[in-house]
Amino acid sequence: MHASGLTPAQLEMLAKTIPDPAPDLSWAGWILGLPAIAAVLCLLLGFLRIRNKLPAIVTIVALGGAFVTTLLLYQSYEGPVTIHLFEWIRLSWGTGPGQSLIADIGLHVDGLTLFWMLFVTGLGTLIAIFASEYMESDVGGDYARFFGAVSIFLLAMGCLVMGSNLFLLYLGWEGVGVASYLLIGYYYGKPTAVAAAKKAFIMNRVGDLGLLIGIYLTWRTFGALDYATIFETMKDGQYVLDSGAMLIPFFLMLGAFGKSAQIPLFTWLPDAMEGPTPVSALIHAATMVTAGVYLIARCYPLFFLHPDALNTVAWIGGTTAFVAATIGMLQYDMKRVFAYSTVSQLGFMFLGLGVGTTYGAAYHVFTHAFFKALLFLASGAVMHGFAGQLDIRKISGIRHIPGFKVIAWTMLVGCLCLAAVPFSSGFFSKDEILLVALTDHEYGVPFLGWLGLFTAALTAYYTFRVWFRVCAGPVAYVPGDDDHGHDHAHADDDGHGGLASASHGAVDPQPTAHAGHFHPHPPRLAINGVLLILALGAILAALPSYLKAADGSTWVSSMIADSSAVNGVPSIPAAVGHATGQATGQAAAHHELLGMDAHTALLLISFAIAIVGIGSSAYFHLLNRKAADVLKQRLLASPLTSWLPKALENKWYVDELYDGIFRYPVRGLAWLLARVDALVLDGGIVNGVARMPIAMGRLFQPLYNGLLQGYAVTMAGGLGLILAWIVWVWMKRGGA
């Protein structure tokens, strides 16, 4: 067996995905260039205090341009290729392997890259359009700041996905971290937003350290940082599989867990809801959180370096999916429910990666990007209309309110996809993952599949809990505490309030929420249009599965097969490799589950799950809303079960646990070190030295009495003493 853990057939396929030197495609650099230009322009507009929507227009044009460029690149794409743009880091201290560090600015374009960039730039553009209306009350410096950060976000994401080496990936990785920090902390007047931004950034730093070590170990093992060379070296087997090399996948996955909010680094993501809603959509749907999935898919061959690496990913993913779903069941904040659903769905993606279907994971990223962006933007539109109200107990029946029908029905589309109701896009992608998991022969992995199915039932329940509460039922609402229909405190703002109400007044004859008269503020063209496009996209994302080729491959699987993630695409017969000990390609081999065809079985199970989940949700949250409270009271009343609702509502006390394990000890240590610093370093050494000249000064101070004669006596006396000393020495030597 080959040292890499891959079979010869898998290595052969990997070889096909290693790019050749290629025709000039350097114009693809504009995919990164346009957001960069937009970011600079937005910064400029911010400094110039432009008070109109110009920053939004600049950003939308740039992101749209990037999307069109990606489409053009897809058109002219023939095979995996590395596009060299210009030289960046070229260190060399010898000619042998491992004696140089080369990282150029270049693009690695293959199926995976294109697939990712298509939805990243496409959704980025749509979200920017949505935000142009959503953020309009902040027109001015803040508006420019927001769109500048969005442009930086997309630039970094493009760098992460398209970069031709791990250094560029790391650059983009940190870039999205910084941009998300800027965006989550957008309302910097609000302490919770600042805390959330810091939490996201610091938690990500933990993962980033893992990624950095992983990159170092990769460089140490393969002597290069660019994907083409790494995979070439791996194919040729010209490396040493030492313990450092075996650790590569674990460090890389730590980075992925941080960025994609998996156990143990998932608590930052729900808090990140403090940012404006378009940011939640941007971070939680299309870009940042999918970076971890991308990293593992891109470096998939490296995950065969240790036989347990992918299993670890699978277990973490499956567990995260379940835990996050249970928390999502008892949250009352609409955006938080969707945030936990994101963590849960990301868990599914990692489960897919872990059980060996990069195709399923990537497909789920793709469908999830559409329906989750849709759900976030829809809940953002509800917030926009109800003065920042997010509590699902305080809004009801908005589908009967004129102007909100688009929101209600597009949200239904998103909920159906998230609940993985059969024949929706979410169903097909989740199906791919669970199918492979359930039919895996690895010890314990089928359990993860069943856990995944149970999680899917929970998902159906909590998703429709939101929809039945907010969109269905009798019309009733309590507006939020935000005057201008936005999720932030204008009290902290400097003079935007007047402008905001002016812009509202122009479109809405009755300004919102004044003196007890609250009128919901329905969205206009930009928001409704984006919601409709996204709903359409969420439906059409199922299309690849309907247009399945005869050999079972789809557009998505052919795209993924055309990259370094090829070994996780099941429908390609050559990929079948039980010898690897992984579940690669078992979909082609088994087709047996519960005594019938696996696809049929899963379809039936999914139907049952959807009926149970949505049905129970309909009973508790539409038909008999009091029953939910009664059930909760009953659970709380019994000492045996009272822990359950409490634990769920408090998110399994994970934040408290981390506080106990990490934050408070670190704080105590910081306090101790501060004392040591103040007493020993500052008090003893620094100030002690400073006190010596002061004491000397005190000693001689009385000589300075302000009379010139006194000083002269001192001088003359000193001179006399020196002279006396010279004479004394002279005499002692025996005179002249």
Q: Should residue 701 be labelled a site residue for other proteins when binding is judged by CB under 8 A?
A: yes
Residue (506 or 699) nearer to other proteins, CB: 699
The least CB distance from residue 684 to other proteins, in Å, is 23
Q: Are 636 and 644 in contact (CB under 8 A)?
A: no
Q: Are 87 and 104 in contact (CB under 8 A)?
A: yes
Among 49, 517, 698, 733, binds other proteins (CB under 8 A): 698
Q: Should residue 624 be labelled a site residue for other proteins when binding is judged by CB under 8 A?
A: no
Write the CB contacts of 563 (distance below 8 Å, at least 6 apart in sequence): 17, 80, 110, 111, 112, 113, 297, 298
The least CB distance from residue 698 to other proteins, in Å, is 7
Residue (517 or 698) nearer to other proteins, CB: 698
Q: Should residue 695 be labelled a site residue for other proteins when binding is judged by CB under 8 A?
A: no
Residue (243 or 701) nearer to other proteins, CB: 701
Of the candidate spans 338-346, 394-402, 497-505, 708-716, the one that interacts with other proteins by CB under 8 A turns out to be 708-716
Per-residue tokens: 603 = 């379809």
The least CB distance from residue 714 to other proteins, in Å, is 11
The least CB distance from residue 730 to other proteins, in Å, is 17
Distance between CA atoms of 331 and 317, rounded to whole angstroms?
21
The least CB distance from residue 143 to other proteins, in Å, is 56
Q: Which residues pair with 20 in a beta bridge?
A: 81
Distance between CA atoms of 121 and 345, rounded to whole angstroms?
21
Residue (491 or 707) nearer to other proteins, CB: 707
Q: Are 469 and 392 in contact (CB under 8 A)?
A: yes
Residue (670 or 716) nearer to other proteins, CB: 716
The least CB distance from residue 707 to other proteins, in Å, is 5
Residue with the two structure tokens 């507006």: 479
Report CA Rg, the chain.
Answer: 31
The least CB distance from residue 693 to other proteins, in Å, is 14
Q: Is the peptide bond before 511 cis (omega within 30 degrees of 0)?
A: no
Q: Concatenated DSSP letters for 235-270? A: HHT-S---HHHHHHHHHHHHHHHHHTT-TTS-THHH
Q: Should residue 699 be labelled a site residue for other proteins when binding is judged by CB under 8 A?
A: no
Residue (633 or 687) nearer to other proteins, CB: 687
The least CB distance from residue 731 to other proteins, in Å, is 19
Among 547, 692, 695, 707, binds other proteins (CB under 8 A): 707
Distance between CA atoms of 219 and 213, rounded to whole angstroms?
10
Q: Concatenated DSSP letters for 536-604? A: HHHHHTTHHHHT--TTS--HHHHHHHTSTTGGG-TTSGGG--GGGTS-TTGGGT--EETTEEHHHHHHH
Q: Should residue 716 be labelled a site residue for other proteins when binding is judged by CB under 8 A?
A: yes
The least CB distance from residue 712 to other proteins, in Å, is 6
As to burial, measured by CB atoms within 10 angstroms (0-12 exposed, 13-18 middle, 19+ buried), residue 195 is middle
Distance between CA atoms of 648 and 631, rounded to whole angstroms?
14
Residue (240 or 708) nearer to other proteins, CB: 708
Of the candidate spans 131-139, 376-384, 569-577, 706-714, the one that interacts with other proteins by CB under 8 A turns out to be 706-714
Helix (H) or strand (E) holding 182: helix 166-184
Of the candidate spans 14-22, 446-454, 556-564, 705-713, the one that interacts with other proteins by CB under 8 A turns out to be 705-713
Residue (543 or 719) nearer to other proteins, CB: 719
The least CB distance from residue 690 to other proteins, in Å, is 15
Among 705, 722, 727, 728, binds other proteins (CB under 8 A): 705
Q: Should residue 712 be labelled a site residue for other proteins when binding is judged by CB under 8 A?
A: yes
Q: Should residue 1 be labelled a site residue for other proteins when binding is judged by CB under 8 A?
A: no
Would you call 223 helix, strand, or coil by DSSP? coil
Residue (638 or 701) nearer to other proteins, CB: 701
Among 27, 662, 704, 728, binds other proteins (CB under 8 A): 704
The least CB distance from residue 706 to other proteins, in Å, is 3
Residue (89 or 719) nearer to other proteins, CB: 719
Q: Should residue 692 be labelled a site residue for other proteins when binding is judged by CB under 8 A?
A: no
Of the candidate spans 342-350, 554-562, 591-599, 694-702, the one that interacts with other proteins by CB under 8 A turns out to be 694-702
Residue (21 or 693) nearer to other proteins, CB: 693
Write the CB contacts of 191 (distance below 8 Å, at least 6 apart in sequence): none
Distance between CA atoms of 422 and 604, rounded to whole angstroms?
9
Q: Should residue 709 be labelled a site residue for other proteins when binding is judged by CB under 8 A?
A: yes
Angle of helix 598-618 relative to helix 445-470, nearest 10 degrees?
40
Which of 34, 334, 281, 333 has the alpha carbon at shortest distance from 135?
281
Residue (693 or 706) nearer to other proteins, CB: 706
Among 96, 474, 702, 734, binds other proteins (CB under 8 A): 702
Q: Should residue 708 be labelled a site residue for other proteins when binding is judged by CB under 8 A?
A: yes
10-69 residues in contact with other proteins (CB under 8 A) are none
Angle of helix 54-75 relative to helix 141-162, nearest 10 degrees?
20
Q: Should residue 95 be labelled a site residue for other proteins when binding is judged by CB under 8 A?
A: no
Residue with the two structure tokens 């029905």: 409
Q: Are 289 and 283 in contact (CB under 8 A)?
A: yes
Of the candidate spans 59-67, 191-199, 233-241, 707-715, the one that interacts with other proteins by CB under 8 A turns out to be 707-715
Would you call 650 helix, strand, or coil by DSSP? coil
Per-residue tokens: 337 = 């429910």
Write the CB contacts of 681 (distance below 8 Å, at least 6 apart in sequence): none
Distance between CA atoms of 566 and 563, rounded to whole angstroms?
6
Residue (661 or 712) nearer to other proteins, CB: 712
Residue with the two structure tokens 């927001």: 146
Residue (307 or 697) nearer to other proteins, CB: 697
Question: Can you give the binding site for other proteins, defined by CB under 8 A?
Answer: 698, 701-702, 704-709, 712-713, 716
